[in-house]
Structure 1
Amino acid sequence: MPLMPVQDSMFLLAESREHPMHVGGLQLYSLPDDAGPDYLSQIYHSLVADEQSVQPLFRRRPRRPVSSLGQWSWTSDDQLDMEYHVRLTALPRPGRVRELLELTSRLHGSLLDRHRPLWEFSLIEGLEGNRFATYSKVHHALMDGVSSLILASRALSTNPDDRDMPPVWAVPPMQRPDKPSGSGGPLELLENLRASAADIAGVLPALVRSANTALREQASVLPFQAPRSIFNVQITGARRFAAQRWPVDRVKAIRRATGATLNDVVLAMCSGALRRYLLELGALPDRPLISMVPVSLRAKQKRSEASGNSVGAILVNLGTHLEDPAQRFVQIQQSAQIAKRSLAELSPLQILALSGLTMAPLAFAPLPGFVQTTPPPFNLIISNVPGSPRPLYWNGAKLDGMYPLSIPYDGQALNITITSYADQLQFGLTGCRRNVPHLQRLLGHLEDALAELEKAVL
C-alpha cells in the first residue's frame, strides 16, 4: 500500500478521545410507494453480503493502529467485517426528528476503530412520516467533507426507477482528467519546479500585502483579531448535532435585492442567529465574531489540477456587535469582498500557504494552556458546500435531506456547515456537547435572522 500523505497522517496523530477526527453525513429518505415491511432489512442484508464490491479506499486502515508516531502508511484489510461497518438500527418511539438527532449526536461522538478501515454506515428505521435515515462517517485521513459529499451524491440517481444503486463504499473513484499529450516530460517538470519556486517566494510578499490591506480597510480581518467567546475553549469528545433546511428561494430573493452573493446571505443568517444565541446566554462579546470561511480554488486551477486539495480560507467579520441587521449585512458583505480581493492575484499554492498560516493555531490548540492563554485566530468555521440541484433517489427512496456533520476542534467548539440540495439549503450544526449548550435553539434563531433580513432589505 502507498505511503500516507503527511496531511492524512496529521489527522490521525491529532485524534484523541476528546478530538474525534471524522466527518459525517445524515440523509433522510421517503420510503418508495411499493416498499414492504422488510424493505430496509432487505437492503441491509444485501449490503453486508456484498464484500467484493468494496473499493480499495474503504479497505484501508493505518498500518500501525495504535496511536504512535509510526502511522505513515496504509495497509489493506483482507478480512473486512461488513456486519461491523454496516449497522441496522431503529429509533425509539415516537421516532421524531428529535430522536434521530439525538442518535446522530451519539454516533458522531464515538471514535472509529483504527484496527479496521475507518468508516461506518448506519441504516436507521422507525422515523415518522414513512421515512428512514442513514448516517455515515469516515475519517478525515481518508477524505474530507467535500469529497465525502461528492461521493455520496455519486451513489444516488436522478431516476426513481433505479433499484440497483451501489452504496458509497462501492462507488468507483473518479478518474483524473487526462493530461495533454506529451505532458510529464523533463521540460514540463522543470517549468513546474520553476513556477512552484516562484509561488513559494511570493508567499511572504502576499502576507505583507494582506497585512497592509487590513490596516487600510476597516472591514478587513487578520488572524487573532477575534474576541474570546464561549466557543473558543477546550472541548470534550461528546457531540451535539442540530439540522434544519430552508428554501433557497428566500435566500436568493435577498441576494437579488442587495447584489450580494448567496454565501453573504448565509453568513448574515448565521451572524444574526449567533448574536441572538449569545445574547440569550449573556455571552455576546463587545467585538464582532470572526468566522473562517473556506473558499474553492477550482476556478483558479487548470483542469488537470482540479483534483486534490482545492480549498483556501478567508476571515470574515460577522458584525455581531451591531444591532441593526442591515448594518450587519453590509459589514459582512464588505469584509468578504475585501478578503476575496486579497486572494484574487495569488496562485492556488500561495492561497493554500496563507490559509495554512490562518489554520496553523488549531494544530497547537491541544497543547496544555494554549487555548486559555492565546487569542483565538477566529471564533468558528462556517462553510457552504454546493450539492445537487436535482432531486436524488437511492433504490427508489427519495432523498429528502442531506445534512453535513463536521469536526469541532479545541478552541473551536462550534462548526456550521451548509450544503444545497434541490431547492433547499441544508444546515448542519456540530458542537461540543458540554460547551455549546442548547445548540438546537440556534435553529430557531436562524429562522428569526432570515426573517429579520427579509424585513430589512425586501
Structure 2
Amino acid sequence: MAIMPVTDSMFLLAESREHPMHVGGLQLFELPDGAGPDYVSEFHRQLLSLVDVSPLFRRRPRGPVGSVGQFAWTGDDHLDLEYHVRLSGLPRPGRVRELLELTSRLHGYLLDRHRPMWEFTVMDGLQGNRFATYTKAHHALLDGVSALRLLQSSLSEDPSDMAVRPPWSPRVRTDVFGSAPRDRDHDSAFDPVRAVTELAKEVRGFGAATVKLVNEAFREQSATLSFQAPRSMFNVPITGARRFAAQGWPLDRIKAVLKATGTTMNDVMLAMCSGALRKYMLDLGTLPEKPLVAAIPMSLRTDRSVGGNAIGLILCDLATDRAEPLDRLTTIHESMLRGKAVYHGMSRLQITALSALPLIPLAVGTIPGMIRITPPAFNVLISNVPGPRKPLYWNGARMQGVYPLSIPYEGQALNITVTSYAGSLEFGLTGCRRTVPHLQRLLGLLDESLEELEKAV
C-alpha cells in the first residue's frame, strides 16, 4: 500500500456528486491516408489488445473508500480494460458542436473509486475526415502537467512510427494486468505513525513561510491577497453537470503582442481572458465594480516525473474594471510579478502549503449555505500548461489539437485551462451547465479580446 500525499488526497476528500474532481483532455486526430470506414473501430480493438498496463493506471483508492481509501493507494490486480477504454459514436451530423456536447456529458459524471480512476473514450463519426479521443483521470492521480507529459511521451513526432502505444501501456513491456507489479509497500498494513511522520515532514518550515507571506502582503502590499475578490456570477453553488467549449489561436499572434509590450505569453493569455470576461459579464449586466481576481496554478515540478500533484497558486488582478486593453495587460503583468516575488526563496513544500490558503473557502463551500455567506478567495481559476511544440502522431494519425478540461469547484463555476501545441494556444473552458449561460460565446469574446490587444500595440 502506498501512502497518498496530502496534495493528492485532498481531491478525493473534496469530491461529491455535485463536485467531480477529475481532469480531462479532448484530442482531435486526422485519419491517416488510406484509412477505411472501419479505421476507428479497429483502432479501438487494437487498444483493447494492449493488456500491459503500467502501475500508475492500476492505482485505485484503498478500501473502504470512505475512510483510509482517501489516504492510500492500492494496485488493481484484475483491471477490466474494456470498462476503461470505450468507443462512442457521435450523433449526426458529427460537427464540433456534437463533439463538445458529448464531451461535456462524459466530463460530468464521477469516476468509480472501486476501480483505477481513469477512462479513455474513442469518438467516431466526426466530420472532416477526423476522429477524437477523450481522456479522463482523477486529479488525485494526475495533474495537468503530468497528463500532458504522458500524452507527449506516448505519441510520436514521426508519422511513419507505427509502434505508438496509449499512455496506460508503456512501450517497454512490464507484465500483463493479471499479475500487477507491486508498489514497494503494496502489501504492508497501513501504518498511522508512518503517515503522521510523513505529514510532519511535509509541513516543516511552514511557520516561517507564513510569516514571510504576511510581511509581504500586508506590510509591503506586494501581493494580491485572498478575500479581496468581489462577489460575481461565478461564485455560486454549482451542479455536477458540465458544459465545455474549446478553440485554438496561433501562437504567433500572442508572441507579437508580448514582444511589443515586454510582457509574457502567460500575461497576454490572461489579458485575453480578462477582456473576454469583462464583455461577457457586461452583456449579462453582472460585471462587479471591483476587478475580478484569478487563481493561477503554477507547476512546482523540477523533474520529468508523472503522477500525483505538484502545484502552487498565484492570485492575479485581472483588471476587469478597466476599459483599455493595454491597461489591463499592464496591471496583469505587474500583479503576476508581485505574486511570484512572494514565493521567492521558499521550498516546494512551503509554496504548496501557502497555496492551499486561498483554497480553504472551496472546502468550506461544500457545507450547505456557506458559499452565500463567505467571501470568495478568487473569482475564476485560469491555468496555463505548456504542451508539445511539434506535431504529434498516433500510428500515422496526426493530432490536430488538444484541448484541456478541468474542474469547476463549489463557488467557482468556471474554469479556463490553456495549453500550447504545435504553434497554437489551445483554450478549454469548463463551466457548470446551469450557472454559466452561453459558454460558447466566450470563445468569440476571446478572439475579440486578442484583436483589441493587437490593435492597441
* CA shift in 2, pair 1:129/1:380, >3 Å: same
| Structure 2 length-normalised TM | 0.89
1:206-245 residue pairs with structure 2 within 5 A? Answer: 206-212=212-218, 215=221, 220-245=223-248
Residue 297 (structure 1) aligns with: 300
Distance in 1 (alpha carbons) for counterparts of 2:44 and 2:298: 37
Larger mean CA deviation between 202-211 and 162-171 belongs to 202-211
Distance in 1 (alpha carbons) for counterparts of 2:203 and 2:227: 29
Alpha-carbon displacement from aligned partner over 1:207-248 (angstroms, at most 9, x marks no partner): 222223563x5xx41100000001001110000000000000
Distance in 2 (alpha carbons) for counterparts of 1:134 and 1:452: 34
Preserved contact between residue 65 and residue 115 of structure 1 (Cα < 8 Å): no
Show structure 1 runs of 5+ residues with no match.
174-192
Distance in 2 (alpha carbons) for counterparts of 1:437 and 1:92: 23
* CA shift in 2, pair 1:6/1:335, >3 Å: closer
1:7-406 residue pairs with structure 2 within 5 A? Answer: 7-51=7-51, 53-64=52-63, 66-68=65-67, 70-171=69-170, 199-212=205-218, 215=221, 220-298=223-301, 309-406=309-406
- 3-state secondary structure, aligned to 2:214: helix
Preserved contact between residue 243 and residue 443 of structure 1 (Cα < 8 Å): yes
- 3-state secondary structure, aligned to 1:28: strand
- 3-state secondary structure, aligned to 1:319: coil
Preserved contact between residue 358 and residue 377 of structure 2 (Cα < 8 Å): yes
Residue 187 (structure 1) aligns with: none
* CA shift in 2, pair 1:214/1:292, >3 Å: farther
Distance in 2 (alpha carbons) for counterparts of 1:70 and 1:243: 35
Distance in 1 (alpha carbons) for counterparts of 2:290 and 2:243: 27
- 3-state secondary structure, aligned to 1:344: coil
User: Residue type of the partner of 2:105?
Assistant: R
Alpha-carbon displacement from aligned partner over 1:71-127 (angstroms, at most 9, x marks no partner): 333332222222211111111111111100000000000111222211111110111
Preserved contact between residue 221 and residue 335 of structure 1 (Cα < 8 Å): yes
User: Displacement of 1:342 after TM fit?
Assistant: 2.1
Residue 443 (structure 2) aligns with: 443
* CA shift in 2, pair 1:413/1:65, >3 Å: farther
Larger mean CA deviation between 11-20 and 425-434 belongs to 11-20
* CA shift in 2, pair 1:11/1:65, >3 Å: farther
Distance in 1 (alpha carbons) for counterparts of 2:128 and 2:10: 42
Distance in 2 (alpha carbons) for counterparts of 1:80 and 1:213: 55
Alpha-carbon displacement from aligned partner over 1:246-295 (angstroms, at most 9, x marks no partner): 00000000000000011000000000000011011110001000001112
Distance in 2 (alpha carbons) for counterparts of 1:327 and 1:259: 13
User: Residue type of the partner of 2:83?
Assistant: Y
User: Displacement of 1:137 after TM fit?
Assistant: 0.3
Considering only aligned residues, what root-mean-square deviation do their CA atoms show, in Å? 2.4
- 3-state secondary structure, aligned to 1:170: coil
* CA shift in 2, pair 1:213/1:262, >3 Å: farther
Distance in 2 (alpha carbons) for counterparts of 1:290 and 1:2: 37
Larger mean CA deviation between 349-358 and 68-77 belongs to 68-77
User: Residue type of the partner of 1:339?
Assistant: G
* CA shift in 2, pair 1:439/1:123, >3 Å: same
Alpha-carbon displacement from aligned partner over 1:144-188 (angstroms, at most 9, x marks no partner): 122111111111000000112111111379xxxxxxxxxxxxxxx
| Structure 1 length-normalised TM | 0.89
User: Displacement of 1:296 after TM fit?
Assistant: 3.1
Show structure 2 runs of 5+ residues with no match.
173-198
Preserved contact between residue 109 and residue 239 of structure 1 (Cα < 8 Å): yes
- 3-state secondary structure, aligned to 1:346: coil
